[in-house]
A and B are shown apart, each in its own frame.
Chain A
């Protein structure tokens, strides 16, 4: 399996601030994906970055990937209370068809 481990485990910020969370992994990948989970229910796919990409943007989300360090970061700019959720990373490809997830980063954005 291909683990993604998120850090920090918890993050508390004020509305308007930026939130940065990190993901590390151990083996090769074809891509890395970030997901959001509200209230312990289904995960929502946010963004996918391929192994040959270094940075990707989607609205207020910015994802970077450093394959030499086997790490990725997710930046949420100008956070809103509605961004409060848990965020998970998962790796795709690289020899395994089974994405695995860590415990996620729990983000709380205070209004």
Chain B
């Protein structure tokens, strides 16, 4: 597609429920990143996928968080047993590849998650 697409754009869920957030990167972009941003804060790195390599999960805050990327394209971020502190905007970005450091990152519009 023309840009990075994220869905849903807004999600309200009850505490304890599981949620799935979707990211559809730009076609041909091999690198994909997930970040989250709490109100008034910077972007917190969560996970990074590069091609078929094992993902870098070093930013995931707990084992309730997981992500996968199917076929090197669409990615899903899953949060199990959501807590109120999970409320944030979840942002996805893609780029041509980690070794293409001369190119910037294209971000989606994010999913605003509210846990009530």
Q: How many angstroms from the CA of A65 to the CA of B31 in the assembled complex? A: 26
> Given A43-B107, A50-B102, A88–B37 Cβ distance below 8 Å?
no
Interface mask (A76-111 → B, CB under 8 Å = 1, otherwise 0): 000000000000101011000111111110000000
* Inter-chain contact B43/A42, CB cutoff 8 Å: no
- Cβ–Cβ < 8 Å partners of B19 in chain A: none
Q: How many angstroms from the CA of A45 to the CA of B105 in the assembled complex? A: 7
Residue of B nearest to A1 (CB): B45
Q: Which of B31, B89, B98 contacts A41 (CB 8 A)?
A: B89
> Given A43-B91, A48-B102, A103–B107 Cβ distance below 8 Å?
no
Q: In which size bucket is the chain A interface? A: 20 to 34
Whether a CB of chain A sits under 8 angstroms from the CB of B42 is yes
- Cβ–Cβ < 8 Å partners of A92 in chain B: 101-102, 104
Residue of B nearest to A33 (CB): B104
* Inter-chain contact A40/B89, CB cutoff 8 Å: yes
Chain A stretch 39-63: residues in CB contact (< 8 A) with chain B: 40-45, 48, 50
* Inter-chain contact A42/B107, CB cutoff 8 Å: yes
Whether a CB of chain A sits under 8 angstroms from the CB of B39 is yes
- Cβ–Cβ < 8 Å partners of A90 in chain B: 105
Tell me the smallest distance from the CB of A87 to a CB of chain B, in Å.
12
* Inter-chain contact B110/A93, CB cutoff 8 Å: no
- Cβ–Cβ < 8 Å partners of B104 in chain A: 33, 35, 45, 48, 92
Interface residues of B (CB under 8 A from A): 4, 31, 33, 35, 37, 39-43, 45, 48, 50, 56, 59, 89, 91, 93, 98, 101-110, 112
Given A35-B107, A40-B110, A41-B110, 12 more pairs with CB closer than 8 A: A31-B102, A40-B112, A42-B91, A42-B107, A43-B91, A43-B107, A45-B107, A48-B102, A50-B102, A88-B43, A97-B48, A101-B43
